Amino acid sequence: MSTHTWKPKSHEEILDKVERFMTSFTTDFRARVGLTAESPQGKYIVDEFLPKITTYKSCHNAWKDPNKRNHDDIINLRDAEKALLPVYFQVEKLISGNPLVTNTELADFGFPPREAKGRKPAPVEKTPPRYWSILSLIRHVLIMFAPAEDETKTGKPDGQHGVECRWLLLEHPREVLLDELVHSDFTTRSPLDLSFDDGERGWTLYFSLRWENTRGEKGEFGPVLSTKVP
Instruction: Identify the residue with better confidence: 121 or 59.
Output: 59
Query: Mean pLDDT, the chain, as a whole number?
Result: 90
- pLDDT at position 115, please? 67
pLDDT at 215 over 90: no
Tens digit of pLDDT for each residue in 75-132? 999 999 999 999 999 999 999 999 899 888 888 888 887 766 656 778 899 999 999 9
pTM of the model: 0.55
Distances in Å between the Cα of 128 and the Cα atoms of 3, 57, 160, 170 are 26, 32, 12, 24
2 pLDDT above the threshold of 80:
no
Residue 181: phi, psi to the nearest 5? -80, 95
The whole-number average pLDDT for the span 48-52 is 96
Give the pLDDT confidence of 127-166 residue by residue, as tens digits. Answer: 999 999 999 999 999 999 999 988 778 889 888 889 999 9
* Contact (Cβ atoms closer than 8 angstroms) between residue 145 and residue 130: yes
pLDDT at 44: 94
Domain 130-228 superfamily per CATH = Immunoglobulins (2.60.40.10)
| Domain positions in the chain | 11-109, 130-228
